[in-house]
């Protein structure tokens, strides 16, 4: 990592998470003349690729759609990512207390997997290693951006590093990838639409007595959806990443319950498809909201990732949509001859990507509302949905394309 100095950059990305790192790599590979800065308040992940990697049982993971895998392939880093990836060969979608359900099967589409589950720590290590090979990227760790000051031809960033006096960076374009409703966004007067789902997600890993067989499960119940994503490269592995949604009060109670009570609750809601649940890891809880920025672009400014749209975790759409945003933004920045921060250039990006964003947000939002309701009309509607999933090819294709992240192409 290089020390901070007063410097000029073409593009400065605030936020060195998976979205920010992916965007920096896409930009650097697209145009080696761009001078790119990537800033994060934390240290960047360990990039020592030859160091033994052994994720703990409590490690968090991310679902990578097939379309996202193709993006990482184009960047030349998929082979490394795949070293720690668990393939999802089937997705089983079911509605609690009802017999009908459906499968999305990779074999039906002539592909190896619908998606993959990869430990976040490994994604971070692979991305950091790739970024370190790019001479036109400067990584700044342990840096806080105190202010973003818009200028006629760009922006001035006032930085604080290790409690020292703030330094200044000048940049043609600021990309904010620093999370939903970040202090910087609010400081700039960017408003957000916030819709609470009145639910809390408990994120953890679980083990069970049957093999996962590379099957992911999306099970919808009256209390909220349950997602189980397989962990372990071999089909006989017996672990999965769990997203368990509940109303807030019940979630808080379950979060602090004993392991036995937690597993008994999960067993009752999920059933016996994976045998007996026998282990649960560290549990973390997150309130579930749909948060969308009312402004994703301004002159010399773009919001991306959770800073632009924070989705319900059902169907694993959030990161994959953000990655497609990164692809489109890179394309528009590279293809136009206008200045990087030109508003019309950024408007063209958003116009082209708006349909994907709207479709994906609506898909995840309505999936939750329709499949988590005990109201009879919505129960009837979701029955029709399951019938259509298996008997109406066009309906199933729409669901499959969305799940596999095919909108970016």
Q: Hey, which CATH number is domain 7-51+125-193+289-366, 3.40.640.10, 3.50.50.60, 3.30.465.10, 3.40.1160.10?
A: 3.50.50.60
According to the model, what pLDDT value does residue 393 have? Answer: 52
Q: What token pair was written down for 143?
A: 């840096």
According to the model, what pLDDT value does residue 336 have? Answer: 78
Residue with token string 């773009």: 302
Name the pairing type of β-strands 7-14 and 36-39: parallel
Q: How confident is the model at residue 315 (pLDDT cuts 50, 70, 90)?
A: low
How much of the chain exceeds pLDDT 70, in percent?
A: 84
According to the model, what pLDDT value does residue 43 have? Answer: 86
Q: Is the distance from CB of 125 to CB of 43 less than 8 angstroms?
A: no
- Residue 282: pLDDT above 80? yes
DSSP sequence for 140-151? E-SEEEEEEEEE
Give residue-wise pLDDT tens across range 55-111: 788 889 999 999 999 999 999 999 999 999 999 999 998 876 554 557 788 998 899
Q: How confident is the model at residue 117 (pLDDT cuts 50, 70, 90)?
A: very high
**CATH code that applies to domain 61-123+198-288:** 3.30.9.10
Greater confidence, 152 or 165?
152
Q: Is the distance from CB of 158 to CB of 174 less than 8 angstroms?
A: no
Greater confidence, 194 or 97?
194
Q: Is the distance from CB of 345 to CB of 333 less than 8 angstroms?
A: yes
Q: What pTM value is reported for the model?
A: 0.90
3-state secondary structure of 108: helix
Pairwise CA distance, residues 364 & 281, whole Å:
27
**Once rounded to an integer, what is the mean pLDDT over residues 390-406?**
59
- The end-to-end CA distance of the chain, in Å, is 34
Which residues does 361 contact at the CB level (< 8 Å), separation at least 6?
290, 292, 309, 311, 321
- Residue 6: pLDDT above 80? no
The upper half-sphere exposure of residue 137, i.e. CA atoms within 13 Å in the direction of its Cβ, equals 26
Q: Where are the domains of the chain?
A: 7-51+125-193+289-366, 61-123+198-288
Q: How confident is the model at residue 346 (pLDDT cuts 50, 70, 90)?
A: very high
Q: How confident is the model at residue 387 (pLDDT cuts 50, 70, 90)?
A: very low
Q: Is the distance from CB of 89 to CB of 106 less than 8 angstroms?
A: yes
According to the model, what pLDDT value does residue 316 have? Answer: 75
According to the model, what pLDDT value does residue 93 have? Answer: 83
Give residue-wise pLDDT tens across range 170-186: 999 999 999 888 889 99
Q: How confident is the model at residue 34 (pLDDT cuts 50, 70, 90)?
A: very high
Lowest mean pLDDT among 33-37, 99-103, 239-243, 384-388: 384-388
- Residue 294: pLDDT above 80? yes
């Amino acid at each position: 990592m290089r020390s901070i100095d007063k410097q000029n950059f073409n593009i400065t990305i605030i936020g060195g998470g998976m979205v920010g790192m992916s965007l920096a790599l896409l930009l650097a590979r697209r145009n080696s003349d761009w001078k790119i800065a990537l800033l994060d308040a934390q240290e960047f992940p360990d990039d020592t690729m030859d160091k033994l990697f052994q994720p703990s049982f409590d490690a968090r993971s991310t679902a990578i759609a097939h379309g996202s895998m193709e993006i990482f392939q184009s960047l030349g880093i998929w082979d490394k990512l795949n070293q720690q990836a668990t393939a999802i060969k089937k997705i089983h979608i079911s509605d609690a207390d009802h017999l009908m359900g459906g499968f999305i099967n990779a074999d039906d589409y002539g592909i190896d997997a619908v998606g993959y589950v990869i430990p976040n720590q490994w994604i971070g290590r692979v991305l950091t290693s790739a970024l370190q090979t790019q001479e036109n990227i400067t990584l700044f760790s342990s840096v806080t951006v105190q202010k973003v000051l818009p200028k006629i031809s760009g922006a001035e960033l006032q930085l604080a590093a290790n409690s020292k006096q703030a330094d200044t960076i000048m940049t043609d374009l600021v990309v904010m990838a620093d999370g939903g409703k970040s202090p910087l966004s609010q400081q700039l007067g960017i408003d957000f639409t916030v819709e609470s789902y009145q639910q809390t997600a408990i994120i953890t890993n679980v083990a069970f007595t049957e093999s996962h067989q590379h099957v992911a499960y999306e099970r919808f119940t009256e209390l909220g959806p349950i997602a189980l994503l397989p962990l372990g490269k071999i089909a006989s592995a017996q672990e999965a990443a769990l997203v368990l949604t509940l109303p807030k009060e019940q979630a808080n109670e379950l979060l602090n319950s004993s392991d036995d009570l937690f597993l008994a609750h999960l067993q009752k809601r999920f059933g016996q498809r994976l045998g007996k649940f026998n282990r649960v890891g560290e549990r973390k809880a997150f309130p579930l909201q749909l948060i969308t920025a009312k402004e994703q672009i301004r002159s010399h400014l773009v919001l991306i990732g959770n800073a632009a749209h924070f989705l319900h975790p059902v169907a694993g759409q959030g990161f994959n949509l953000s990655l497609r945003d990164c692809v489109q933004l890179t394309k528009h920045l590279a293809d136009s001859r206008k200045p990087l921060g030109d508003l019309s250039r950024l408007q063209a990006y958003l116009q082209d990507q708006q349909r994907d964003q709207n479709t994906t947000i609506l898909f995840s939002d309505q999936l939750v509302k329709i499949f988590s309701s005990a109201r009879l009309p919505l129960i009837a509607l979701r029955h029709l949905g399951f019938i259509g999933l298996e008997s109406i090819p066009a309906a199933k294709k729409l669901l499959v394309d969305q799940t596999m992240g095919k909108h970016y192409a």
